[in-house]
Amino acid sequence: MKDTVIILMAKKPQIGRTKTRLYTALSPRQAVEFSEALLLDSIDLVKDLSWSDLALAITPLESVQYFQSITPAGTYLMPVAGENVGQCLAQAIKALLSMGYQKAIALNSDSPSLPLEYLLQASDRLEQSDLVFGPAYDGGYYLVGMTRPIPQIFDGITWSTERVLAQTQERAEELGLSIGLVPPWYDIDTPKDLVRYLVELEQTPPDRLVNSRRVLADIRLRPSWG
């Protein structure tokens, strides 16, 4: 066991429940395939890090077999459930820290082009801070890290809004907790995000993000998406 665990928050891709905000750019089937590609590329991003182990916090509860089929041997699969993402985060972080990890860094599975140095920065900031966040451009966060369970940090948050990070910071202040931040990055949720990602793929070495490239091979940029 290493000192740090990276927890990917992962939902099984399903038609009608996955990337529905991309339906103006992709068909429902393409959206599911693209969601799976993002998940696979996110796993590839972190699976071989020398300083951390890999866990997946997975939903729905009955999706264990699916995730077993797409994850490397040794990946810890943890089914989670809750009324919102905060409850799922709290469950996953508490469970992993209780196993003996000194640092738990939860990461979404929608940002596979994230620079790896941001993860290292998150680990470093946990040496001095109670919490670390990676702000997302939409007002949420793509990353949260802790060295001890703080489930109350997720209470009273209006999820899926542009106020998520701001409300969480306010909650941390109320609790007297210190926060470290790493540079912002983006989730791929909207056609505008997809345009950015397609441009980024063109600027990235071809041996990276291979699953996204495969799925998006026939997609063409459409300015109207943004």
Query: What are 56-77's pLDDT values in tens digits?
Result: 999 999 999 999 999 999 999 9
What does the mean pLDDT of the chain come to? 94
Digit-coded pLDDT (tens) for 180-216: 999 999 999 999 999 999 999 999 999 999 999 999 9
Whether 226 has a pLDDT exceeding 50, the answer reads no
Residue 177 has pLDDT above 70, yes or no: yes
Nearest-angstrom CA–CA distance, 145 and 140: 14
Closest CA to 150 of 106, 184, 108, 181: 106
User: How many percent of the chain have pLDDT more than 70?
Assistant: 96
Query: Please, which pLDDT band fits residue 123 given cuts at 50, 70 and 90?
Result: very high
Q: Is it the case that residue 84 has pLDDT exceeding 70?
A: yes
Q: pLDDT at position 222, please?
A: 47
Interacting residues of 50 by C-beta distance below 8 A, sequence separation 6+: none
Are 201 and 209 in contact by the 8 Å Cβ rule? The answer is: yes
**Segment 85-116, tens digit of pLDDT:** 999 999 999 999 999 999 999 999 999 999 99
Mean pLDDT of 169-189: 97
Over residues 133-157, the mean pLDDT reads: 97
Q: Which pLDDT value is given to residue 223?
A: 42
State the distance between the two ends of the chain, measured CA to CA, in whole angstroms: 44
The pLDDT assigned to 217 comes to 87
Sketch out the chain's domains with CATH numbers: 4-217 (3.90.550.10)
DSSP 8-state secondary structure symbol assigned to residue 15 = T
Q: Does residue 224 register a pLDDT over 80?
A: no
Q: What are the phi and psi torsion angles at 32 (to 5°)?
A: -65, -45
| pLDDT for position 183 | 98
- Give the pTM: 0.95
Phi, psi of 215 (to 5 degrees): -70, -35
CB 187 within 8 A of CB 9: no
CA-CA distance, 122 to 131, in Å (whole number)? Answer: 9
pLDDT, position 220: 61
Residue 181, number of CB atoms within 10 A of its CB: 18
Enumerate the H helices of the chain as residue ranges: 28-46, 64-70, 85-98, 116-125, 164-174, 191-202, 210-215
